[in-house]
Structure 1
Amino acid sequence: MTWTLGLVSLAVVAASLLGGFLPLRARLTHTRMQLYLSVSAGVMLGAAFFHMMPEAIEQSGSAHILNWSAFGLITLYLVERFFASHHHEVAETPESATPSSCFNEPDHRHHASGIQHDPPTPAVSLHWGAAAIGLTIHSLTGGVALASAFVIGEQAGGGLGNVSSVAWGVALATLLHKPADSLTIVSLMLRGGMKPLTAHLVNLVFALMVPLGVLFFFTGIQWWGQAAGNGPAAAVLAFSAGTFLCIGLSDLLPELRFHDHDRIKISVALLAGFGLMALTVLFHQHGSTKPAAPSVVNSDAGHAGHTH
């Protein structure tokens, strides 16, 4: 598990760096960005619903573990509301850099056609800092989610390549979403007049936030202690599912009443990502989680007398 988690973390860093180079190599319109974000959001929502929340319940032995999912969603919402919001807007004009938070509706004046590229303004250069703070918080929580999924996956056992489907689901969602985060930061920094080398160095620091979140998780689990069995890791996984829900919805809901002419394409993109996570459930071996069951129901096993 350690080596696989390390390789996935490196892959996430590489994907983040790749996303930072996209503003220099390709022209990304708002519609293209929304298609990509719809796929990414569908994967994140699917990972939360089909993998993270069911696995947290299965490992904890109680549906009340989903209270942590509610706390995760609300916590990230409050962080965005009062500190820094994250957004993935293509900075084509100063107006297009308006940030959007979870459940917020940004200014959509930039949806009009015939956008002219204005010279950098001081106002635009300030936006990347706020975006970096919000996206850094998301990257740290993403690293925590990744580590908790792999720990729960190891406890459950089985799955594709000896790693459970919950671990692969969270890994795929993280890999798909991180390039959009890096693209946002780098494009805003370049739009604000920052030199490309400086922008990519900042993006490198940002990319390393996911491995740092992994380290935070293992440090926190050691402090929390293993006396509670799977409880701490399951609670963190459920909490992370709530953050995935908030991030996914923050990319989808602000665009809900716009792009009428693209509603089919964007809906298909969302369903493609969501459906991909639904298909990965086929690799989930529910029977492989039975070794964890005695820690929850062992005291009743002798009285039940059930034999399979």
Structure 2
Amino acid sequence: MMPVLSLFCVLIVAVSVLGGIFPLARLLDHTRLQVYLSFAAGSMLGAAFFHMLPEAVEGGSPSTIRWTGVGLLGLFFLERFFSFHHHEPQVPSPEGGHDHGHASHGRHPSRNTPDALSWWTAAFGLAVHSLVGGVALASAVAADHAARGAIGATGWGVFLATLLHKPADSLTIVTLMLRSGAPRRLAHAVNLGFAAMIPLGVLLFVLGLGGLSADAASRGRSIALAFSAGTFLCIALSDLLPELQFHSHDRWKLSVALIAGFALMAGTASIELF
């Protein structure tokens, strides 16, 4: 199990660091970014429904699903008080022009906008939910290992969903830092530290289950999967729901990307990979 988790962590750290470079290289325009986010959100929804929740119930009981609500609300309140979930800072537009910014989400412009949001607050909020993401990844791989002795569809599904979404979070933090005038060297250092949150979450999960009995460890894996599924649902909906108001002009592109991400997870659920 540990070699697989180590490899997954290395790959996730690599794409996370690259995600933080995007604001410097300007590789993504508005439309491409939103298509990518829709695809990543679809994959997270699919991972929750096709992989994490079924595995949580199979390894625990139907009542384990209650932890999904705890995870969803927990991340919701984390973002409400520390960092709302957005990936594209608001870009000033000419008076009367259409603002493609994803940040305000209909809120009053004087509150909760990237200009009013300090980068360290965003970094803290996103770092905590990345720790939870590490727990999600480790619990998925651990559930596969306990059930079949090898990596299976659940572990692959959660890994792919995490791999697809992680660069967007790095992009958010680095962009906010650059907009606030932070030195680029500091931005790169913070980006690297943020990328390490997934491996840290994996380590915390492994250490937490290490001293438990087999039955307790099984219950712990199921609870962690259900809880993490709630956080995946919260993250995905945070990316998707603002599109109902701000992205009607790209509705077909974004809808196809969403369905493609969801279908990817459905496909991995139907084929066990070893």
| TM-score of the superposed pair, with normalisation by structure 2 | 0.89
Tell me, yes or no, if structure 1 residue 245 matches structure 2 residue 244: no
Tell me, yes or no, if structure 1 residue 214 matches structure 2 residue 205: no
Give the Cα–Cα distance (whole angstroms) in 2 for the partners of residues 256 and 223 of structure 1: 47
Counterpart of 1:36, as a letter, is: Y
Counterpart of 1:10, as a letter, is: V
Give the Cα–Cα distance (whole angstroms) in 2 for the partners of residues 76 and 91 of structure 1: 23
Report the count of equivalent residues: 265
Change (3 A) 1:108 1:27: farther
Tell me the CA shift for residue 27 of structure 1.
4.5
Structure 2 matches for 1:186-205, cutoff 5 A? Answer: 186-205=174-193
CA contact (8 A) 2:46 2:266 kept: yes
Give the Cα–Cα distance (whole angstroms) in 1 for the partners of residues 154 and 165 of structure 2: 17
| TM-score of the superposed pair, with normalisation by structure 1 | 0.79
Tell me the CA shift for residue 223 of structure 1.
5.7
CA contact (8 A) 1:143 1:209 kept: yes
Counterpart of 1:172, as a letter, is: L
Give the Cα–Cα distance (whole angstroms) in 1 for the partners of residues 264 and 135 of structure 2: 23
Q: For structure 2, which runs of at least 5 residues remain unmatched after alignment?
A: 94-98
Change (3 A) 1:152 1:97: same
How well do the aligned residues superpose, as a CA RMSD in angstroms?
Answer: 2.4
Partner residue, 1:117: none
Partner residue, 2:96: none
Give the Cα–Cα distance (whole angstroms) in 2 for the partners of residues 254 and 260 of structure 1: 10
Partner residue, 1:5: 5
Change (3 A) 1:42 1:4: same
Change (3 A) 1:74 1:210: same
Tell me the CA shift for residue 274 of structure 1.
0.4
CA deviation map 1:118-149 (0-9, x unaligned) = xxxxx838532221112111111100101100
Match among 184, 187, 196 for residue 172 of structure 2: 184
Change (3 A) 1:106 1:132: farther
Partner residue, 1:41: 41
Tell me, yes or no, if structure 1 residue 169 matches structure 2 residue 157: yes
Partner residue, 1:119: none
Give the Cα–Cα distance (whole angstroms) in 2 for the partners of residues 147 and 27 of structure 1: 31
Give the Cα–Cα distance (whole angstroms) in 2 for the partners of residues 17 and 188 of structure 1: 15
CA contact (8 A) 1:68 1:238 kept: yes
CA contact (8 A) 2:102 2:242 kept: no
Structure 2 matches for 1:81-230, cutoff 5 A? Answer: 81-90=80-89, 92-93=91-92, 99=103, 105-107=105-107, 124=115, 126-157=117-148, 162-222=150-210, 225-228=213-216, 230=218
Higher Cα Rg: structure 1 or 2?
A: 1
Moved more, 276-285 or 36-45: 276-285
Q: Which has the higher contact order (CA 8 A, sep 6+)?
A: 2
Partner secondary structure for residue 89 of structure 1: coil
CA deviation map 1:219-250 (0-9, x unaligned) = 32246554435111111111100100000001
Moved more, 213-222 or 275-284: 213-222
CA deviation map 1:203-227 (0-9, x unaligned) = 0011111111111112322465544
Give the Cα–Cα distance (whole angstroms) in 2 for the partners of residues 144 and 28 of structure 1: 29
Q: Percent identity?
A: 54
CA deviation map 1:137-168 (0-9, x unaligned) = 1111100101100100101116xxx4111000
Counterpart of 1:237, as a letter, is: L
Moved more, 217-226 or 235-244: 217-226
